[in-house]
Amino acid sequence: MVATAAGRLARRLSSTEATAEKLKMSGPTVVAPPKHLMAPSSASEVATGIEAARKKLDSSGITSSLTNSPRETTVTDKYAYAFDIDGVLIRGGRPIPEAIEAMKMLNGENPWGVKVPYIFVTNGGGKTEAERCMQLSQQLEMEVSPGQFICGHTPMREMAEKYKTVLVVGGEGEKCRIVAEGYGFEDVWVHLHMPTGIVLTVRSVTPGDIIKDNQDTTPFRQLTHDEYQNSRARNFAEVEISAIFVFADSRDWASDQQIILDLLMSKNGRLGTRSENYNEGPPVFFSHNDVVWSASHDLTRIGMGALRVSLEAMYKAVTGKQLQTTAFGKPQMGTFRFATRLLQEWRKDTHGIDFPPSTVYFVGDTPESDIRGTNEFNECTDGANWYSILVRTGVFQEGTTPRFQPKATVDNVLDAVAHGMEREHEKSLEEIML
């Protein structure tokens, strides 16, 4: 345990040695590059403070009613930043060149010596918040905490009490199953694909189990010898799937959509049955609705939103009916409400003010989700003023006109940070002059 500048104790784990099990242990935890493991860096105070606030928020579900005695802190409470990750900080698994400098600027390396709080709000799924934390700590070479991450599927944790037996779609290996069970889902059917094409044997049911029970389920995909051996038998006539959750991008659209369609047309989520009116199947939830996203390729790649469009079109073609699905993530209001609550809890804990920061600068690369969500939430909230900044390093292409207009458009994340900090400095000067 190491104390930060504000006197908070936090357990510190090396980004090269941290594991999901270690991050599950109680108490605030910060993941740090090996060079910062023994002595906290300038990023430690923000990471630890928001981690502590997230622990309180997750345990109660709402911001606490009591105002804590504020500790001494060097971090401003006037404004904060929220960052998308892919296309803003990271592209193709590598940091965007200006990202590391942008983080340094937020952590005090700026003309005013100000530290600014920040969180990460990403539609990227298929990984736990803890895994995202370990990955970003290595990529940006800085201290971060799991509490700073809000993923598209984070709100799904609140649905674990309602749906007990679920099909989880997308991602690699059993990662989505781990996320789902970490959220409290008790009986998880997992439709998973390894990069090698092998379906892993896990405690819950896999597509291999479904195909092993009826090899005609997916006519263009047959189990290999190892897949067949690793798959488990189960009496599907006695199992009802109560919900379908698409946690991450599908690795096998044909198989995923076939099994989802079978369930949607079933009687009460029982595989092998057919509803007469096609209105008895389980609901479908997507962790986000991004049709395209920024990867390592020069052009954008299709994402989960495209799968949602495809599934809805297929369902209508087969049944003649409209399929109603639900998406979380950006631009959905729930994601921004949760982010606001987190920043409010942090401000109350660190500064004794039970109100979110006056301005939250959201930096994104996708007009349809990042900018739209920020603008629409700003119009309907009585809390913080959410200010949208669009960068040119991701989905947005120069020369095009975004359907949803940002408050500012800049070249990269460093320019976005500089824009907001300069704007806040000017506001503070105006207040002094009044």
pLDDT (average), residues 42-66? 77
- Per-residue model confidence (pLDDT) at position 161: 80
Would the pLDDT of 153 be above 90? no
What is the percent of the chain with per-residue pLDDT over 70, rounded to a whole number?
84
Alpha-carbon span 12 to 414, nearest angstrom: 27
Give whole-number Cα distances, 314 to 13, 216, 237, 260, in Å: 47, 19, 25, 11
* CB-based burial label for 29 (10 Å; 0-12, 13-18, 19+): buried
pLDDT (average), residues 354-358? 92
Most confident of 20-24, 27-31, 120-124, 178-182: 120-124
* pLDDT tens per residue, range 276-298: 999 999 999 998 888 988 788 88
Helix, coil or strand: residue 204 = coil
Q: What phi and psi, each to the nearest 5 degrees, are found at residue 374?
A: -60, -50
Delimiting residues of CATH 3.40.50.1000 domain(s) in the chain: 2-152+331-433, 154-327
Would the pLDDT of 200 be above 60? no
For the structural domain made of 154-327, what CATH number should be given? 3.40.50.1000
Would the pLDDT of 40 be above 70? no
Confidence of residue 196 (pLDDT cuts 50, 70, 90): very low
- Per-residue model confidence (pLDDT) at position 197: 42
Give the CATH architecture of domain 2-152+331-433. 3-Layer(aba) Sandwich (3.40)
Q: Name 81's Cβ contacts closer than 8 Å, sequence gap at least 6.
A: 106, 116, 117, 118, 119, 360, 361, 362, 363, 417, 420
Predicted TM-score of the model (pTM): 0.79
Task: Check: CB of residue 390 under 8 Å from CB of residue 87.
Answer: no
Alpha-carbon span 290 to 262, nearest angstrom: 25
**Two tokens at 391?**
């960068």
